[in-house]
């Protein structure tokens, strides 16, 4: 019997791209291209991803060269958080006939806040017969988990969620944008003067509202500083954050619906103190009430496992920009990943 392989390109070889590479290889996916930016250009992806062996795939920063010269079924995209940055890159992938699985936060549910870009990608993807989706940890904990929990309710008045992430697992850019180490006064000035981008939780709440068949009528967001209770070393900031300085930010979102239920979320992005873990909690008020709590969660790895588990769903999906709530229920996919790609979809056959 002939084996088949999904062929993939990794677009962005940072923390997430490296983990994703290892997971893809482990699930029998053949990686045929790697797109980087400044670091590790010319080096082999296998070596940079820590596989301990070469994949024969040099990291190239000429995206067009990689996309036009490597036939791939899917591109795993993890290099930016906003739709404007993702847009031209996704267009290139689509025009080269490739499906896209992106962990770009704003692409998770772009129909509300970024509907012009979403529609443009949707039209282009339909024309080229491929599918684009946004996924990541929110696919599970901010959408499918709470959406499934809601099935126990006859009536919903409100849905509120809370989650956290350890900023020390991100790079220095994240530390700066979160205002780490600022005094409360400097934080207020900075965040009052700078227009803040939509939060990942806010974007996901809009997806949840759509998934539950409700209609968005308004949304609000604010950023609240979390202050250090004691001197705490930060890897991301590369210094000790003093007691009383900003140790993180809470992104607080509220989404109203025409039908009445209010959705809210607080996402705490902070330097963890000993014993703190990524966690998530959802509370639905209605009849009956329902709560789900995940006390400890592998946020960083989970982002990448979810993206990889989504690969067959995205290859199988109808063409267009298909948000996560329109894909099949997210689930674990055992080895090999290509076993979940429906017959007739372009997978490479090898002897």
Chain residues binding ligand NAP by CB under 6 A are 11-17, 35-39, 78-81, 103, 105, 136-138, 170-171, 303
Strand 155-166 versus strand 262-270 pairing type? parallel
**What is the closest distance, in whole angstroms, from the C-beta atom of residue 306 to ligand NAP in the complex?**
8
Whichever of 326 and 348 has its CB closer to ligand NAP, that residue is 326
Give CA separation, 54 vs 46, 47, 216, 335, in Å. 5, 6, 49, 21
Taking each helix axis from N to C terminus, what angle separates 115-128 and 83-95, rounded to the nearest 10 degrees?
Answer: 10
Closer residue to ligand NAP, CB minimum distance, 171 or 298: 171
Our CB check for ligand NAP shows the closer of 90 and 153 to be: 90
Token reading at 200: 């990942």
Report d(CA 294, CA 225) in Å as an integer: 24
How near is the Cβ of 301 to ligand NAP at its closest, in Å?
A: 10
Closest approach of Cβ 90 to ligand NAP, in Å?
12
H/E stretch holding 249 reads strand 246-257
Render the burial of 55-90: b for 16+ CB within 10 Å, e for the rest.
bebbbbeebeebbeebebbbbbbbbbbebeebbebb
Nearer to ligand NAP, 17 or 261 (CB): 17
Measured from the CB atom, the residue of 232 and 303 that comes closer to ligand NAP is: 303
Least distance (Å) from ligand NAP to the CB of residue 38? 4
Whole-number minimum distance, CB 285 to ligand NAP, in Å?
Answer: 27
CB 33 → ligand NAP: shortest distance, Å?
12
Nearer to ligand NAP, 153 or 306 (CB): 306
Among residues 18 and 27, whose Cβ is nearest to ligand NAP? Answer: 18
Q: How far is CA 72 from CA 29, 41, 63, 265, in A?
A: 11, 20, 13, 38
At residue 159, the 3 state secondary structure works out as strand
Minimal CB distance residue for ligand NAP: 14
Closest CB 349 distance from ligand NAP, rounded Å:
30
Contact (Cβ atoms closer than 8 angstroms) between residue 314 and residue 99: yes
User: CA 235, CA 82: separation in Å to the nearest integer?
Assistant: 25
Report how far residue 100's alpha carbon sits from residue 83's, in angstroms, rounded to the nearest whole number: 13
């Amino acid at each position: 019997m002939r084996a088949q392989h999904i062929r993939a390109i990794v677009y962005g070889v940072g923390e997430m791209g490296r983990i994703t590479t290892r997971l893809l290889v482990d699930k029998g996916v053949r990686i045929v291209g790697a797109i980087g930016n400044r670091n590790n250009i010319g080096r082999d992806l296998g070596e940079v991803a820590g596989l301990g062996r070469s994949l024969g795939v040099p990291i190239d920063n000429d995206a067009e060269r990689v996309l036009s010269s490597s036939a791939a079924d899917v591109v795993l995209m993890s290099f930016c958080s906003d739709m404007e940055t993702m847009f031209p890159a996704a267009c290139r992938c689509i025009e080269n006939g490739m499906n896209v699985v992106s962990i770009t936060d704003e692409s998770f549910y772009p129909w509300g806040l970024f509907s012009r870009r979403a529609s443009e990608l949707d039209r282009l993807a339909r024309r080229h017969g491929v599918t684009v989706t946004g996924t990541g940890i929110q696919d599970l904990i901010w959408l499918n988990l709470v959406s499934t929990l809601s099935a126990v309710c006859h009536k919903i008045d409100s849905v509120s969620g809370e989650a956290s992430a350890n900023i020390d697992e991100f790079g220095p850019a994240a530390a700066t944008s979160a205002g780490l180490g600022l005094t409360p006064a400097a934080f207020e000035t900075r965040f009052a003067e700078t227009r803040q981008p939509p939060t990942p939780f806010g974007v996901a709440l809009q997806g949840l509202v759509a998934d539950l068949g409700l209609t968005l009528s308004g949304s609000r967001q604010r950023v609240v500083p979390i202050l250090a209770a004691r001197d705490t070393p930060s890897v991301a900031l590369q210094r000790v954050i003093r007691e009383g300085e900003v140790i993180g930010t809470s992104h607080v979102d509220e989404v109203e619906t025409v039908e009445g239920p209010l959705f809210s979320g607080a996402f705490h992005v902070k330097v963890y103190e000993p014993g703190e873990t990524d966690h998530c909690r959802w509370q639905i008020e209605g009849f009956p009430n329902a709560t789900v709590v995940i006390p400890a969660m592998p946020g960083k790895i989970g982002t990448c496992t979810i993206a990889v588990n989504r690969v067959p769903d995205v290859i199988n999906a109808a063409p267009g920009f298909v948000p996560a709530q329109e894909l099949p229920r997210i689930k674990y996919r055992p080895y090999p990943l290509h076993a979940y790609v429906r017959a007739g979809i372009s997978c490479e056959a090898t002897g």
